[in-house]
Amino acid sequence: MSKSFTPGLKILKKYTILKDRILPLRGKIRTKIDKVVSSDDIVASANIPGNVKMINIANKLNIESNYLNQCMLVKVGDSVSEGQIIAQNKGLFGLFKTEVKSPVVGEITQISEITGQVVISEPPDPIEVDAYIPGKVNKIYSDEGVQIKSSGTYIQGIIGIGGEKKGKLRVLSNPSGSISESDISPDCKDCIIVVGSFLDYSIYQKAKKIGVSGIIAGGFNYNSLSKILGYSLGVAITGTERGITIIVTEGFGNIKMSQKTYDLLLENDKNNISINGSTQIRAGVLRPEVFIHNGNLDELDEYNQADLIIEIGSKVRIIREPYFGEIGEVVDLPHNLQKMESGTLTRVAKILFNDRSSKIIPRTNLEVILSD
């Protein structure tokens, strides 16, 4: 039987996940192997060097560079405050002294009698990486970060925007229902809400006003997404956007959330969850995700990469136009390459849709939907 490997879209009630939590530069590990952590626990931290200010003291004091140290009131390693006098010449007969003040808060890191310059480094910016999900520290990457292992419900969407968010899940509507602005009350603040059907732009605006952290919806309008971003999405690489994180589980348009996805979310209504809207459609496929811890951290299963093989009978979603977001079943995987409208030769699959129509789709345009 013909088979093919394809990106997998996971909708799983019980899934063992490995999540790397890595610093942007080398720093300090704040935990230890096998330690049980909560989603908010800081597991690694580092300091990003502050801005550097260079001051030509020799020019300001009108002295030769080799006399610089004689005029300095501070030395390398000293901390200085903004406006503090750091250098002063002797003046004329002890009068008419010229002073140089520090323009920033920082530390003197260099005094050069060659250039006549003094370098002040502003305080470093601390950066902390949290665990993101409840779990157990499975691996430590020396000075770089850790790997968290956990088990729970794992749902991937088809597209999203915004980064990592954590909060209490609030299910507001089912796939067949509708939602009004009045349904988003002040107690939704800092929560992650579920709109089982279509997410209207006005609902997004109300959620933003209330202070909702995230929204999980079945469908969304592409033009509304462009309005939120301020530009057309184009190539889908997201995750750095500020504001509400949005995860669309089915696709663009007035599309209902799949019943399987909705039921898993409903089971966890009012539980704490973690979400990430980061999406990358092309090379190195990355999907927006929802994770809800509901396992025993003392009895974690061995990590087992879910089967990404597509074969006859596989349930798949199409990830590129003109059938983007549609779901169907693989009924044939022809062995020979087929010529597409663009003129390219590629391996294809025959997909049977819910309305019983069928289409020939390039296998690279498919992702298998994994569910239990």
At residue 253, the pLDDT reads 84
pLDDT in tens, 248-289: 998 888 888 988 899 999 999 999 999 999 988 765 678 899
The pLDDT of residue 124 is above 50: yes
The pLDDT of residue 1 is above 50: no
- Between these two residues, 229 and 48, which has the higher pLDDT value? 48
Residue 357 CB neighbour total at 10 angstroms: 9
| HEC letters along 228-295 | HHCCCCCCCEECCCCCCEEEEEEEECCCCCCHHHHHHHHHCCCCEEEEECCEECCCCCECCEEEEECC
* Consecutive H or E run containing 209: helix 201-210
43 CB contacts (<8 Å, ≥6 apart)? 21, 29, 30, 31, 37, 129, 130, 131, 137, 145, 146, 148
At residue 280, the pLDDT reads 84
The pLDDT of residue 305 is above 80: no
At residue 372, the pLDDT reads 64
174 vs 195: CA distance, rounded Å: 7
Angle between helices 201-210 and 222-229 (to 10 degrees): 40
Q: Which amino acid is at 256?
A: K
Residue 338 CB neighbour total at 10 angstroms: 12
At residue 246, the pLDDT reads 96
243 vs 220: CA distance, rounded Å: 17
pLDDT in tens, 225-246: 888 888 777 666 888 888 999 9
**Using an 8 Å Cβ cutoff, are 274 and 294 in contact?**
no
At residue 4, the pLDDT reads 47
The pLDDT of residue 298 is above 70: no
8-state DSSP, 72? B
226 CB contacts (<8 Å, ≥6 apart)? 232, 233
Tokens, residue 321: 């136009």
E-assigned strand segments in 7-67: 8-22, 28-29, 36-37, 42-48, 52-56
How sure is the predictor about 122, in pLDDT bands with cuts at 50, 70 and 90?
Answer: very high
At residue 229, the pLDDT reads 84
pLDDT in tens, 78-106: 999 999 999 998 766 556 688 999 999 99
The pLDDT of residue 367 is above 50: yes
Nearest to 120 by CA among 180, 153, 89, 77: 77
How sure is the predictor about 145, in pLDDT bands with cuts at 50, 70 and 90?
Answer: very high
256 vs 218: CA distance, rounded Å: 5
pLDDT in tens, 314-365: 888 887 778 877 888 999 988 888 888 777 888 898 999 988 899 899 887 8
- Between these two residues, 176 and 51, which has the higher pLDDT value? 51
Q: What is the pTM of this model?
A: 0.76
Mean pLDDT estimate for the chain: 88
